[in-house]
A and B are shown apart, each in its own frame.
Chain A
Amino acid sequence: MSLELLGISVLWIFLFGYVIVASIDFGAGFFNAYSLLTGKQHILSKVIKRYLSPVWEITNVFLVFFFVGIVGFFPQTAFYYGTVLLVPMSISLILIAIRGSYYAFEAYGTKKGHKGYALAYGLTGLFIPASLSIVFSISEGGFVNIIESQPILDYGALFTSPLAWSIVMLSIVAVLYISAVFLTWYAKKANDEKASNLMRKYALIWAFPLIISSLGIIIELKSYPNEHFAAMTNLWWMFAISGVLFLATVWLIWARTGYGLAVMLLVLQFAIAFFVYGISHYPYLLYPYLTVYDSFTNKAMAISLVVAFIAGLCLLLPSLYLVLKLFLFNKDYVRGNQDYHV
Chain B
Amino acid sequence: LDGKPGISFELIAQAAYDEGRTHLATHLLNHEPRGGKQVPLLLNMEEDELALDKAIASGDDDLVYYVLLHLKGKLPLASFFRMINNRPMASALIESSAREGDMELLKDLYYQDDRPIDGSNVLFSEALNEDELQRKTEKLQLASRLLADSKDATVVLQQKLVLEASQLLKVQDALDKDLADRSEFLGLSLNETVFRLVRAGYGKRAQKIQSEFKMPEKTYWWLRLRALVAKRDWG
Tell whether A and B belong to one assembly: no
Query: Which residues of B are at the interface with A, using a C-beta cutoff of 8 A?
Result: none
Interface residues in chain A, defined as those with a beta carbon under 8 Å from any beta carbon in chain B:
none
